[in-house]
Structure 1
Amino acid sequence: MRVWDAPTRLFHWLLVILVVLSYVSTRLSWMDLHLLSGYAILTLLIFRIAWGFLGSDTARFSHFLRSPLAALRQLGRMHRREPDTQVGHSAAGGWMVVILLALLSVQAGTGLFANDDGATEGPLMKFVSKADSDWLSKIHGINFNILLAAIGLHLAAIAVYAVVKRHSLVKPMITGKKRLPAATPAPRMAHPLKALVILLIAGTAVWVLATRV
C-alpha cells in the first residue's frame, strides 16, 4: 500500500542532506554555502508546514498528532514485537516530527538575524540591534546542539524499531509503500502539482526575504 507521497519523501531526504550541509559548511567556514543551505531549509519548512494542512492524509498534522498520553502508551510498548499495522506516523513519531520541525524553525529563524562577528550577517540583522543579534546568534548555536540531540533520539528510535520490533521505518520513506493488512483503508494522496505550487510560493517568499527586504 502506498503510505507516503513523493513530496513528503523528497522533503525528508532533502532536509537530511541540507542539515548535514549546514553543519559541514559551518565547520569549514563556508558561510556563503551555509546561508544558501539555511534558505533552502527555510523553504522546505514553510512547504512542510503548509503540506501538513493541505497535503496527503499521512502528511497532515490532523492525521498523526494525538494526545501525549497516546505517545507515552506507545513508548511503553516499544519492547514488544507486534505486527506492523501503522499507516503513517505513530503517536510518538508524530510528536517527534513536531519537535524536529519546531527546532528547525528556531534554527532557521534565528539564523536570519544572526552574525559571526565577521563578514557574514543574516538578511534581517539590520532590523535588530547588535546586542540582540549576538543573543540570537548564541541561541542559533545552542539550538543546533539540541537539534542534534533530537536527531540522535530519532535515529535511536528507528534502530529500536528495526531491531526489537522488526519494523522498517526507512524503506517506506524511500519507496513510499508498505505491506499492511488487506483490510487497511488506503490514505488519500494529494496531487503532486499542489505540492509544486506550495513549494514555489515558499521559495519565492524566502527569496524575497533574503534579497529584497
Structure 2
Amino acid sequence: MPSIRVWDLPTRVFHWALVFCVVGLVITGNIGGNAMVWHFRMGYTVGALVLFRLLWGFWGGYWSHFSHFPVGLQTLIAYLRGKAAPIVEVGHNPLGSLSVFAMLAVLAAQVSTGLMSDDEIAFQGPLTRFVSETTVSAATHYHTEVGKLLLIALVCLHVGAVIYHQRVKRHPLVQAMIRGDKPVDPALQPLAAADGVAQRLLALALFGICAGFMAWVAALGR
C-alpha cells in the first residue's frame, strides 16, 4: 500500500524526547543524590513538552490534532467489538487517543507536584515557598509514590499495546513514529498531515514559548 505522512516532525520529536526524559526521570529519581540535578532539568523539559503537545493538539498536523482523535463513545465501543471503520487505525485509534490524554494528564500532574515537592535533604521544587507545608507534603507524597506508579503503569501499558499492534496486528507503529509515513489503503482517501517548513517553524516557536515559561518557573526558586 502507498504511504502518507501521518506523524509530522514536531510530533515525532516530541514523542522521542518524551520517551528519553521519562526514562531519565525514573532513573535519576531512583538514584537520588546529585542525580537529582538532572531529574529537575528533565522535569522542566517534560513540563515544556507537555505544554507544547497541548498547544500542538490545536495547531499541529491533521492526525496530531485533538479534534481528529476518535474518542466518541460509539466509536470506542465499535473499536472494542472489532467493527470500527478502518480509518480509525490511520492515526491514533480510540484506545490510543484515550492513552494520549491519560499520559498528558498524568505527566502534567507529575510535573506540577514536582514543582511543589521537597525531599527534605537538598532539593526543593521552585514553588514550595509559595504554598503551605501541608500542600508541599501532599505534593511530595503524590509525586514520589502515587504519580510515579501511575506513570510507570501507563508506560508499561503503552509499550505493551505497541508490541501487540506491531507483532500481532502487523501495524508498523514504531516505524511510522520514526519516519512519519505509514502505509494506508488509498480507498480510505486519508488526508496527509501538513509537515512543511511553516509547520516546523511554528512548532519551534511554540516550544520556545513553552520552554521559556518553564525556565521562568524554575527561576522562581532561586
Q: Structure 2 length as normaliser, TM-score? A: 0.88
Q: Which residue of 2 aligns with 1:149?
A: 153
Aligned-partner SS, 1:165:
coil
Name the count of aligned residue pairs: 210
Aligned-partner SS, 2:56:
helix
Pair 1:206 & 2:219 matched: no
Give CA deviations for 1:173-197 in whole Å, capped at 9, x if unaligned: 0000011122423234151010011
CA distance in structure 1 between the aligned counterparts of 2:160 and 2:142, rounded to whole angstroms: 25
CA distance in structure 1 between the aligned counterparts of 2:181 and 2:77, rounded to whole angstroms: 27
Q: Which residue of 1 aligns with 2:69?
A: 64
Gaps of 5+ in 2: none
Pair 1:25 & 2:28 matched: yes
Give CA deviations for 1:127-178 in whole Å, capped at 9, x if unaligned: 1122220111111121110111111111111121123211121110000001
The two structures, once aligned, show a CA RMSD in angstroms of 1.9
Q: Which residue of 1 aligns with 2:190?
A: 185
CA distance in structure 1 between the aligned counterparts of 2:103 and 2:126, rounded to whole angstroms: 24
Q: Which residue of 1 aligns with 2:40?
A: 35
Call closer, same or farther: CA 1:85–1:42 in 2, change over 3 Å: closer
Q: Which residue of 1 aligns with 2:122?
A: 119
Answer whether contact 2:50 2:104 (CA < 8 A) is retained: yes
How far the C-alpha of 1:68 sits from its partner, in A, is 3.5
CA distance in structure 1 between the aligned counterparts of 2:70 and 2:109, rounded to whole angstroms: 20
Q: For 1:38-53, what aligned pairs fall within 5 Å after superposition?
A: 38-53=43-58
How far the C-alpha of 1:65 sits from its partner, in A, is 4.1
Q: Which residue of 1 aligns with 2:171?
A: 167
Q: For 1:72-87, what aligned pairs fall within 5 Å after superposition?
A: 72-77=77-82, 86-87=89-90
Identity %: 35
The amino acid of 2:103's aligned partner reads L
Answer whether contact 1:44 1:199 (CA < 8 A) is retained: yes
Call closer, same or farther: CA 1:61–1:84 in 2, change over 3 Å: closer
How far the C-alpha of 1:92 sits from its partner, in A, is 1.3
